[in-house]
Amino acid sequence: MSKIRVLIVDDHQIVRDGIKRLLKDEDDIELIGSVGSGKEALDFIKCNQPDILITDLSMPNMSGIELTERLMKLSTDIKVLILSMFNNEEYIFSAIQAGAKGYLPKQDSTTEILLEAIRTISNGDEFYSPSISKIVLKSFFKNVKNTSVGDVSKKHQLTSREKEILKLYVEGYTNNEIAEKLSLSVFTIKTHKNNIMQKYNFKSTVEMIKFALRNNIVEW
Edge-to-edge strands of the sheet including 29-35? 29-35, 4-9, 52-55, 79-84, 102-105, 127-128
* Among the ranges given (29-43, 44-58, 133-147), the one the predictor scored with the smallest mean pLDDT: 133-147
Q: Which residues contact 8 (CB under 8 A, 6 or more apart)?
A: 16, 19, 20, 31, 33, 34, 35, 54, 55
Asked if pLDDT for residue 152 goes beyond 60, the answer is no
**Residue 62: inside a domain, yes or no?**
yes
Whether 149 is in a domain gets the answer yes
Residue 17: inside a domain: yes
Could you tell me the residue range of the domain that residue 130 belongs to? 4-137
- Residues 29, 124, single domain; the answer is yes
**Which residues does residue 33 pair with via DSSP β-bridges, in sequence order?**
7
Check pLDDT > 70 for residue 42: yes
**E strand segments, 24-68:** 29-35, 52-55
| Residue 31 domain flag | yes
Instruction: Decide if pLDDT at 11 tops 90.
Output: yes
Residue 141 reports pLDDT greater than 50: yes
Same domain as 10, residue 101: yes
Residue 219 belongs to a domain? no
Average pLDDT over residues 31-59: 94
Q: What is the CATH number of the domain that holds 161?
A: 1.10.10.10
Q: Name the DSSP class of 156.
A: G
Total structural domains within the chain = 2
Q: Tell whether 130 is covered by a domain.
A: yes
What is the predicted pLDDT for the residue at 128?
85
**Domain shared by 27 and 45, yes or no:** yes
